[in-house]
Amino acid sequence: MLNLEESPARLFAALGDATRLGLIKRLSNGAEQSIAQLGEELPISRQAVAKHLDVLQSVGLVRRTRRGREVLFVLEPKTVAQARRWLTQVSAQWDDALGRLKMFVESQP
């Protein structure tokens, strides 16, 4: 897996597509699903779906398993959590900064 800690950009980029977000949402029900299944309701070709899944796998958002002739995909919630953590840190730093500003203002005579 790539180093997402120091470069979450690729991870967010993988999330930055409506089709891929849909796939993730669909996979978040916990079920393993094949490429054909995942593409059933989508208005794009199977190959397009496969490419999207490749992108998701390349950043570790999904894991693939072969079973016979089909390939099953499952969500990797740890990677979702990594993205969440980055945003949480930004929010926390923001809150800290505002807190310090408030303290400074209140300490003025």
Partner DNA sequence: CTTTTATGCAACCATATGGTTGCTGATTAA
Partner DNA sequence: TTAATCAGCAACCATATGGTTGCATAAAAG
- Of 2-31, binders to a second copy (CB under 8 A) are 7-18, 20-21, 24-25, 28-31
Which residues on adjacent β-strands are paired with residue 75?
Answer: 62
Separation of first and last alpha carbons in the chain? 54
Is residue 75 near a second copy by the rule CB under 8 A? yes
DSSP designation for 4: -
Alpha helix (H) ranges present in 29-76? 35-39, 46-58
Distance, in Å, from the CA atom of 56 to the CA atom of 98, rounded to the nearest integer, reads 36
Q: Are 52 and 17 in contact (CB under 8 A)?
A: yes
Q: Pick the piece of the chain touching a second copy (CB under 8 A) from 34-42, 44-52, 62-70, 72-80.
A: 72-80
Contacting positions for DNA (CB under 7 A): 13, 16-17, 19, 34-37, 43-48, 50-52, 55, 67-72
Query: Which residues sit at the interface with a second copy, rule CB under 8 A?
Result: 7-18, 20-21, 24-25, 28-31, 75, 77, 80-81, 83-84, 86-88, 90-91, 93-95, 97-98, 100-101
